[in-house]
Amino acid sequence: MTEIGRRGLMLVLSSPSGAGKTTISRRLLATERERMALSVSVTTRPARPGEVEGRDYFFIDKPRFAAMVANGELLEHANVFGNLYGTPRAAVDAALARGTDVLFDIDWQGTQQLRETARTDVVSIFVLPPDMASLEKRLRQRAQDSEEVVRGRMAKASDEMSHWAEYDYIVVNREIDVSVAQVHAILVAERLKRERQVGLGDFVRGLMGKR
């Protein structure tokens, strides 16, 4: 069976901290490992327990981060809770060209920048919590942040959620299995868009030539 050539897409997942985007991302990557790669960001924050260099983030210092921004090496970058985050350009461009989708776990600031630099390649999804009590509960259950940081994330959540209308799709994460299925359905539909199937013209001409 002839495979139709396809350009990869940038699938962006954003949400307030604790709303579930990281869990959804991991579940999606587990089922799409042959056709999707996670965009690994650079960051100036320290590694959290269990995080691995090159898998979760590339941990760099602020002078190196500034140099990457100045040299145009980042597709997007943002300051989040005093730490700098950014997406290296070269690896993403190479993946898209070979038909591999790239998954982004970034905030609204990064999503806006991606739209400016790669509008037609971006598919954006905002994940909302079912209610604020659930969001706070998830943050506390992670046991990764201090009480001060948890309060800061809760205070920031309303501002982050105010950007929901800037996204292509909205998923309310009431039940993780349902949310993962919804995100996967969006991915399947976006892959089938005519403009992303760059080999479709040749495929159709081949079909017509056989008649």
The percent of residues above 70 in pLDDT, for the chain, comes to 95
| pLDDT at residue 208 tops 60 | yes
* Mean pLDDT, range 58-66, rounded to an integer: 96
Give 108-130 pLDDT, tens digit per residue: 888 999 999 888 999 999 999 88
Written as one string, the DSSP assignment of 39-100 is --EEESSPPPTT--BTTTEEE--HHHHHHHHHTT-EEEEEEETTEEEEEEHHHHHHHHHTT-
Measured CA to CA in angstroms, residue 173 lies from 15, 52, 158, 204 at distances of 10, 27, 16, 40
Write down the pLDDT at residue 81. Answer: 80
Give 1-53 pLDDT, tens digit per residue: 668 999 999 999 999 887 888 899 999 999 998 999 999 999 999 999 999 99
Strands lying side by side in the sheet with 74-80 = 57-59, 41-43, 83-88, 74-80
Q: What is the DSSP letter of 130?
A: S
Write down the pLDDT at residue 56. Answer: 87
Give 132-176 pLDDT, tens digit per residue: 877 777 777 766 667 677 777 787 888 888 899 999 999 999 999
Give the pair of three-digit tokens for residue 58: 């590339």
Does domain 10-193 fall into CATH 3.40.50.300?
yes
The percent of residues above 90 in pLDDT, for the chain, comes to 64
Q: At what angle do helices 21-31 and 176-191 cross, to 10 degrees?
A: 60
- What rounded mean pLDDT belongs to the chain? 89
Write down the pLDDT at residue 1. Answer: 62
Domain definitions of the chain by residue range? 10-193
Buried-exposed string 39-77: b where 16+ CB fall within 10 A, e elsewhere: bbbbbbeeeeeeeeeeebbeeeeeeebeebeeeebbbbb
